Amino acid sequence: MNLKTNLILLCLLCAALALAMPAHGDPIENTITKIFVEDRGRPVDDFVNFSMNCHGSLPEWWPRRLDDSPNASGTDLVFHYSIDCQPEGCAIYDPYDTWMMKIISCDVNGSYKGTQFLFRNFSGDPQPECYSIMNADSEDNELRGVYDIDDNNCFEIYENSSRLCGKLFDINGNDTEYDAYRQCTDRSQTELSACKTRNSQPIRVNKTELLSYPIGAEPTRYCELMFDLHPVNGAAVHPIFSHASGIAHRSPVESLYCSLLSFFGAEC
């Protein structure tokens, strides 16, 4: 077999190994979420203690159960975090590994200056708006990110382009067609980078914060949650976000797998 055939077989083997991983080993990305709390449109001036509690259901075999007793609606507590948030904001490091959870709703409850608050049905998902960090490897302290929806749109364009490139590849070793294939894939990669750059925006996390990430490697995703304890002018009490619509961020393994499928003219 020639070199190019060997490379194809190696790629297929890598994809097979990724797919053979246990389902409960869902690939996750290190994530930092910054939380900002306001009171009547202004940042709070004291600590806010609050909890996010999401109820729903889990598969019977799921190993992690937070609470064996269901709530009033008959659903289990499937996701939870608590934090003391200082006036300038706070951060959590949960990767939102909720892929097997059927979440019905999330509530937020806590206290501010001795007064209790409770937001029922705060959201349909604990994960707020998230961004892929663009320049995490650069020396710049100021970072930019691409919103999940825009990131997926850019990758979809890249997949379509790569699928066309795959039709130029000659497995029998035609050098002319192989060169055309390489030029095509280089253009696709350049277009992907340009698309992400066009859709990037400043994010409220900096390189110093990434370097101080307490769990393993630096995060590659930034999420942001902001809510108001007492909104004014008829504004919503809190954001309603749900990722059940199918707009979801692709993990690195899934992106690799989709790229391999595109290479051979198939789709995810």
pTM over 0.85: no
pLDDT, position 135: 83
pLDDT, position 75: 76
Q: Spell out the per-residue pLDDT of the chain, length 268, in tens.
A: 444 454 444 454 444 444 333 333 345 789 999 999 999 999 999 999 999 999 998 877 766 556 544 444 557 899 999 999 999 999 999 999 888 888 999 999 999 999 999 999 999 999 999 999 998 777 778 899 999 999 999 999 999 988 888 877 655 556 667 788 889 999 999 999 999 999 999 999 998 899 889 888 889 999 999 999 987 655 445 554 444 333 344 444 455 445 555 545 455 4
Q: What is the DSSP string of the chain?
A: --HHHHHHHHHHHHHHHHHTS-GGG-----EEEEEEEEETTEE-SS-EEEEEEEEEE--TT-S--S-SS--TTS-EEEEEEEEEE-TT-EEE------TT-EEEEEEEEEEETTEEEEEEEEES-S--EEEEES-TTSS-SEEEEEEHHHHHHHHHHHHHHHHHHHTT--TT--HHHHHHHHHHHHHHHHHHHHHHHHTEEEEEEEHHHHHT-SSSSPPSEEEEEEEESS--TT--SS-----TTS--PPPHHHHHHHHHHHHTT---
pLDDT, position 43: 94
